[in-house]
Chains A and B, each alone.
Chain A
Amino acid sequence: MSSTDHKPRLAALDATADAIIAKYPQKRSACLPLLHLAQETLGWISNDTMEWVAAKIGVTPMQVYEVVTFYPMFKLQPIGKQHVRVCRTLSCALRGSYHTMEALEKEFGIKRGETTADGAVTLEFVECIAQCGPGPVVQTSDALFENVAGEQKVGELVKHIRETVAADNIGKRPASLGSPEWNF
């Protein structure tokens, strides 16, 4: 875990966090929503974040840490701007997701689970992301790609990844519905 100072940026999220907590009968229920909020703003979950969440919902930082390590979506290290998640589970594998992953590894010069040296791209094999018919599916930080098998389709995905990593807001929480991020 890095010792990055996230405190000032977390303080800026206080009002949003309090509004989330108010929706629940018990504060602790807001644990996952607050972690999502922090990760989507800061990119990953730092010690500062866990301490901030713990103070907000009235538990110990360790109790937040055990939640963070349980859910695969939460990352304890910084990840690439483009988080490329290729579905590994059977429906997508049958339609070629292992071959797609190998092509992406070759393209970006990293193995699954790794991030490129410039911090642009993280490749991850994930379990079923519930769009099984048009597999293999790949969820990037900003979009969902279907039928990503074969040179042409993989090429289109690679082109999109290379074009979008330059944008600052990629993979971050959008300001409002309909903004370009997350428009699946």
Chain B
Amino acid sequence: MSVQERRLIYANVGKPGYTPDIDCYLKHGGYEALKKAFAMKPEEVCKEVTASGLRGRGGAGFPTGMKWSFLDRKSGKPIYLVVNADESEPGTYKDRQIIYFDPHQIIEGTLITAYAIQAKQAFIYIRGEFQNGAKYLEKAIAEAKAKNLCGDKILGSDYSVEIVVHRGGGCYVCGEETGLIESLEGKRGYPRIKPPYFPAVLGLYNCPTIVNNAETMAQVKHVVSLGGAEFAKIGVPGDSGTHIWGVSGLVKKPGLYEIEAGKATFGQLLNDFCGGPLDGRKFKAIIPGGSSTKILKFGERFKGKLPNGTEFDWALEDIPLDSNSIAACGTGLGTGGTIVLDDSVEMIQALANLNAFYAHETCGQCTPCREGSLWLSRISKRVCSGKGREEDPALLLDIANQVAGRTICAHGEAVAWPVQSAVPKFKDEYLDSIRRAKAGEQSPYTLKLI
């Protein structure tokens, strides 16, 4: 294999003998970055993060340093930091491993970030299902407090901050930053409309708030320890650092692979790292970055221009694993949670499975999303149960087009994108499924997805 993993975040995850307690973390150079950050001025830490070119790891890929710069510092209101460890995007399971195996990394990054933005208090919003994960984080915080690395007058400085671990209740939409804030305020997780509710201005308790992904916190630690300029050298221009690819579905070796941004392709990820398709099978499609990102079909050609002007003409296997390249192919890097589908999958069932997810998870505030997601789910299920109509693929697309862009939060896009991308690419197969069911023919697909 020509490309190797480059483990920054997962350097110690899965290492024999590595334990999640503070002694082990300190032995491996833990909290040195925190000391380095506290020797700097807060604004210098922000500058390092901006210089590093770090992009958020929660899915949207927004530059972290720029996000921090939007903070309203003139209002005089306290600033809050909220770490998003909700990890609810289907196909994504990268943060879980940091929380369970190396929780101090998140705590250190959170402390550095809190110091950099001068937050009054920090919260880690973790999904409710991670009962033990929340306990690991709480234990890590208590250990750090006992060593004066967290809490009052950290490392003898004038800066104090408390971190509170807050468990959610199993809602996908609470991974959306404003839904998360509502949830943290003790309410239903209804996302808020922007403007005016940009968290950096009107966030938690209507105070300026930064919401960052849990892995982003771990990346911040490495930005400080390497220095912004040095960190920017990892990866490619426009996307620095490493990405954790969480591959799931139908491959030989599904798993988590940390790869320098842009230094490998989907072909290498799926064939070299993951060992290729299962015996006797052929890859059919991938959903590259969590279930909401647009599906890519094997055999497609991707042509276009990168932001830097370079023209490209790629097969799916040639697409480099960095956010600009993947975005140029009409989809997104998202969370790096790649779901792999092979020729044993009936595509309409896969779509119906995702449609059912979004119908279950819509919060119900906006009519297009609440009604649209249910219609999409019912129509695609109808096709799977053999009662499909020939006009159904076009109807699915029509409904999806009326949801995207018409909702308060990005759940509308998450509902629409799987349909908008899959229907044009797999319409013939859908029609085949509909025709076969009508004619009473036996389906060649035995795998049940809905």
Contacts and interface: CB of A to CB of B under 8 A. Distances in A.
Interface of A: 23-26, 28-33, 35-36, 57, 59, 63, 66-67, 70-74, 88-91, 93-96, 98-99, 126-135, 139, 177, 182-184
A82 B237 CA distance: 51
Interface in B328-363: 337, 339-341, 345, 350, 353-354, 356-357, 360-361, 363
B382 to A, nearest CB: 18
A28 B88 CA distance: 24
22 contacts: A25-B205, A28-B186, A30-B186, A32-B186, A70-B188, A70-B363, A89-B90, A89-B353, A91-B90, A91-B339, A94-B248, A94-B250, A95-B248, A96-B447, A127-B361, A132-B249, A133-B93, A133-B248, A177-B135, A177-B136, A182-B132, A184-B132
Given A57-B186, A90-B291, A90-B449, A130 B87 contact: yes
B169 A71 contact: yes
Given A29-B186, A130-B127, A133-B254, A74 B87 contact: no
A36 B129 CA distance: 11
B12 to A, nearest CB: 19
Contacts of A25: 78, 121, 205
Chain A contact surface mostly: loop
B3 interface: no
Nearest to A27: B186
A15 B252 CA distance: 51
B243 interface: no
A96 B448 CA distance: 7
Contact of A36 (B162, B167, B345): B167
Given A90-B354, A131-B93, 12 more contacts: A32-B168, A33-B166, A71-B170, A73-B170, A90-B91, A90-B287, A90-B291, A98-B448, A128-B92, A130-B129, A135-B249, A183-B132
A71 B339 contact: no
Interface in B357-378: 357, 360-361, 363
Contact of B246 (A23, A74, A133): A133
A174 to B, nearest CB: 8
Given A35-B169, A73-B170, A95-B250, A128 B357 contact: yes
B287 to A, nearest CB: 8
B164 A91 contact: no
A133 B129 contact: no
Interface string B219-238: 00000000000000000000
Nearest to B287: A90
Interface string B374-405: 00000000000000000000000000000000
B129 A73 contact: yes
| Of listed A26, A59, A131, A133, residue having the most chain B CB within 10 A | A133
B106 interface: no
A90 B249 contact: yes
Contacts of B57: none
Count chain A CB atoms within 10 A of each CB in B136, B172, B249, B447 and give the residue with the most. Answer: B249
Q: Looking at B88, B127, B128, B255, which has the most chain A CB atoms within 10 Å of its CB?
A: B128
Interface of B: 78, 87-93, 95-96, 100, 121, 127-132, 135-136, 139, 162, 164, 166-172, 183-189, 205, 246-250, 254-256, 287, 291, 337, 339-341, 345, 350, 353-354, 356-357, 360-361, 363, 447-450
Given A71-B128, A132-B92, A93 B170 contact: no
A95 B249 contact: yes
A76 B168 CA distance: 17
A135 B205 CA distance: 39
Contacts of A28: 185-187
A182 B169 CA distance: 17
Contacts of B127: 130
A28 B90 CA distance: 30
A135 B248 contact: yes
Nearest to A53: B186
Given A25-B205, A90-B353, A70 B189 contact: yes
Contacts of A67: 169, 186-188
A72 B169 contact: yes
A20 to B, nearest CB: 9
B379 to A, nearest CB: 18
A29 B58 CA distance: 23
A88 B250 CA distance: 16
B253 to A, nearest CB: 9
Contacts of B353: 88-90, 93
B185 A94 contact: no
B88 A184 contact: no
Contacts of A182: 131-132, 135
Nearest to A57: B186
The 10 closest A-B pairs by CB, nearest first: A71-B169, A31-B186, A132-B248, A91-B248, A28-B186, A73-B170, A133-B254, A128-B90, A70-B188, A98-B448
